[in-house]
Amino acid sequence: MNGARLTIGQGVAWSFLGIALFLGLWTSLSVSGLVPRQFLPTPMETAARFLSLFTSPFAGATLPVHLASSFRRYAYGVLLAAAIGVPLGLLMGWFRLLDDIVSPIFDGLRFIAPIAWVPFAALWFGTGIGGPVMIIFAGAFPPCLINAYRGARFVEPRFIEAARMLGTSDLRMIREILLPSAVPSIIAGLRVAAGLGWQSLVGAELIVAAAGVGFMMVQAQASVQTTTVMSGMIAIGLVGMLIDVLLRQGEAWLRRRRGLEA
Amino acid sequence: MGSIRFDKVDKVFGPKTGGMKVLEGIDLVIGEKEFVAIVGPSGCGKTTCLRMVAGFEAPSAGSVSVNGREITSPGPDRAVVFQQFALFPWKTVRENIDLGLRNKRLPRSERSDRIAGALKLMNLESHAEAFPHQLSGGMQQRVAIARAYVLDPEVLLMDEPFGALDAQTRVVMQEELVRLARRNPRTVLFITHAVEEAVYLADRVAIMTRRPGRIKEVLDVKPVRLAENWDRLARIEDVMDLESFVHLRTQIWRSLREEKGPHGV
C-alpha cells in the first residue's frame, strides 16, 4: 500500500466520489449529443429500465428468470471445471509423467479465449445446455488446474518427507498431504475460475435459444434496446461482484478454521 | 534388528566432478539398541548422514544399510523426528500419530491402543484432539516423537530435534528422552551441535570434521555413565556438574575447537 492510511469513513467517501464522477461523466456524454442518445442512454434511463425488467418480461422472461437460467449454466460449467481441473492438477503435481503428457497440450489450449469455442460448441451441442456449459468450462478450467498443480508442486518438502517416512502411498499422499496443503492455492484458483466463468457467460449465451442474461442482451441489441443491453451488463456486474464477495467470505472462513490466521 | 552401517560413504552435492563434497569416507556402525549422537560444526554434513539413513538422499559412493539391507527409499522402519517437527497442520494430534499406523493397515482397535500408549508415553493424553498450531513448540515436538515411536521402528532418526525449542523446554525434553531411551532402548541416530546434549543422551558420540565431513573420532560415553551411575540423577544440571561429565564434554569441545576456522567460526 502506498500513501497515507484512510479511515473507513474517508475511504467510503472517496469511493462514492469515484462513482459520482463516473455517473456524471456518463450523463454529460449522453446528454451532450456527441453520441446519439439512443446508443448511450443516461444512467437514470438505464436504472429505470433495470428496475422495470424485474416485473415486465423481455425476450420471454423477466430479468430474475434470465439470471436464474444463466446461473444454472454457469454453475454446471464452473463445477465441471473444478471437478476435473482440481484432481487433474493435483495428479500432475505429483506424477511427473502425467505432467509431461498433459502440460504441452494444456499450455497451448489455455490461451484460446472461451469465446473462440463458440462455433464448435454450436456445432457439437446445437442449442442444448452442453454448448454454453462447454464455453464457461473453457473459461473456468485453466485456473482450477493451474492452481491445484502449483499448490501440489509447492507443498513444503518437509511434509512430503514426513509422509514418505511414515510409508504413505501415492494416492493417500495426494488426498491427505497435497490436497490439504494446496487448499489456499486451490481456493484462490476457484475464485479466479468463478470470475472467468461468469465473464464467459455472454459469449456462452450467444448460442442459446431460450433464456439467459446473455440471450436477453443479444435480443435487445437486435432491436436497438440499449437500456435493456445495459441492464444486462449491470446485472452481470452485480452478480459477479456478489459471487466474488461470497467466495472471499468462504475463503476467509476456511482460513480461520484451519488456523492459518492467528 | 536395528543396526545402522555407513560403509565408505561419500556425498557430493551438484555435479559429480566439481560439485560440493560434503561427506568423505564415512565409516560408522551403530549397534542394536545403541544411541549414537553425531556432533560437528555447522555445514559439516551431519544432517546429510541422517538423511541418507532416512532414504531422503542417496550416497554418491559407498553404502548405507540398516540390518544389512541397503537403503533405497524412505520407510516406516526408519522413523524420523525433524528439527522443524513437520507435523501436518491440518491433522489433529491423533490423526498425525495415526497416519503411519493406517499406512501399515493395522486394524482400528490396535491402532487406537497404540495411539493411546504413545500419547501416554509423551504426556499428551489431554491434547489428542488438538491441532498442532494450538500447541507449544515443546508439545509439538512431543507429538512428532510420539508419531515416530508409535511405529515401533527399527531405528529412530532424530535431526536436531530440540534445536528449535527454547532453553527451558529443551532441558525438559532432554530429560524425558533420557528416561524414554533408558526404559525403552532403541537404535537411535541423533544429530546435534550441542555438545552437552550429545554427552547427556548418547551411548557414543561421533565427532565430525569441517566440510568435507569425516568422522574424526568416536567417544564412548556409556561405560563412564554406567560406572559413575549418571542415571541416578533426574536433573540434567546435576549430571552436567559431575566431574566425569565435564571431562567428556571438554574432550569433545577441544576436538571440535580444532575444527573451527581461523577466526573461530
B56-81 pLDDT per residue, tens? 999 999 999 999 999 999 999 999 99
| Same-domain pairing of A189 and A118 | yes
**Whether the Cβ atoms of residue B56 and residue A132 lie closer than 8 Å to each other:** no
C-alpha span between A168 and A162 (Å, rounded): 9
- Let me know whether A118 and A231 are in one domain: yes
Residue of A nearest to B104 (CA): A167
Number of neighbours of residue A176 by Cβ within 10 angstroms: 19
pLDDT digits (tens, 9 = 90+) for B236-263: 899 999 999 999 999 999 998 887 655 5
Which set of grid coordinates corresponds to residue A247? 467466495
B35-39 and B215-220 strand pairing? unpaired
d(CA A124, CA B101) in angstroms, rounded, equals 50
3-state secondary structure of B63: strand
C-beta atoms surrounding A183 within 10 Å: 18
User: Over the stretch A36-59, which tens digit does the pLDDT of each residue have?
Assistant: 888 889 999 999 999 999 999 998
If asked whether residues A100 and A221 sit together in one domain, one would say yes
Starting from the edge strand earliest in sequence, which strands make up the sheet with B61-66, in order?
B20-30, B4-13, B61-66, B69-70
Separation CA B198–CA B89 (nearest Å): 30
Q: At what angle do helices B108-121 and B93-103 cross, to 10 degrees?
A: 130
Check whether B157 has a pLDDT greater than 80: yes
Chain A: give the shortest CA distance to residue B136, in Å: 14
Q: A76 and A31 in one domain?
A: no
Are A55 and A172 contained in the same domain?
yes
Q: What's the pLDDT score for residue B89? A: 93
Q: Looking at the structure, do residues A128 and A20 belong to the same domain, yes or no?
A: no
C-alpha cell at B258: 580444532
Which residue in chain B is spatially nearest to A168 when comparing CA positions?
B103
Annotated domain spans of chain B:
1-29+55-74+202-229+253-265, 79-192
- Predicted local confidence at residue A257, as pLDDT: 73
Please tell me whether residues A213 and A246 are part of one structural domain: yes
Is a pLDDT exceeding 90 seen at residue B101? yes
| Minimal C-alpha gap between A177 and chain B (Å) | 8
Residue of chain A whose Cα is closest to the Cα of B87: A159
Identity of the residue in A176, A177, A259 whose CB atom sits nearest the CB atom of B131: A259
Measured in whole angstroms, the distance separating CA B239 from the mean position of its chain's CA atoms is: 21
Distance of CA A155 to the CA centre of its chain: 26
Domain interval for residue A254 = 41-258
Residues 163-192 of A with CB under 8 A from B: 163-169, 172, 176-177, 180-181, 183
Kindly provide the ipTM of the predicted complex, given to two decimals.
0.90
A167 and A200 inside one domain: yes
**pLDDT score recorded for residue A115:** 87
Task: Enter the pTM of the model.
Answer: 0.84
Q: How many domains does chain A have?
A: 2
Q: Are residues A45 and A107 in the same domain?
A: yes
**In chain B, which residues have their Cβ closer than 8 Å to the Cβ of A258?**
89-90
Whether the pLDDT of residue A262 is over 50: the answer is no
> What's the pLDDT at B47?
94
| A161 touching B (Cβ < 8 Å) | yes
Residues of B with CB under 8 A from a CB of A: 54-56, 73-76, 78-80, 82, 84, 86-91, 99-100, 102-104, 131, 133-134, 147, 151
**Which positions in chain A touch B75 (Cβ < 8 Å)?**
165, 167
Contacts of A95 (CB under 8 A, 6+ apart): A170
Other CB atoms within a 10 A radius of the CB of residue A74 amount to 27
Do the chains contact at B86 and A159, CB–CB below 8 Å? yes
Q: To 5 degrees, how large is the angle CA B198–CA B199–CA B200?
A: 95
Q: Do B86 and A164 touch (CB under 8 A)?
A: no
Where would I find the beta strands (DSSP E) of chain B?
4-13, 20-30, 35-39, 61-66, 69-70, 78-81, 155-159, 187-192, 204-208, 215-220
On whether both A33 and A45 belong to a single domain, the answer is no
Q: Which residues of B touch A183 (CB under 8 A)?
A: 90
Chain A residue numbers with beta carbons less than 8 Å from the beta carbon of B151 are 166
Asked whether the beta carbons of B75 and A167 are under 8 A apart, the reply is: yes
CATH topology of domain B79-192: Rossmann fold (3.40.50)
CB contact under 8 A, A162 and B82: yes
- How many Å apart are CA A87 and CA B190, to the nearest integer? 39
Question: What average pLDDT score do residues A83-95 get?
Answer: 96
Quote the pLDDT of residue A255: 77
CB-closest option in B79, B80, B99 to A168: B99
What CATH number does residue A244 fall under? 1.10.3720.10
**A97 shares a domain with A164:** yes
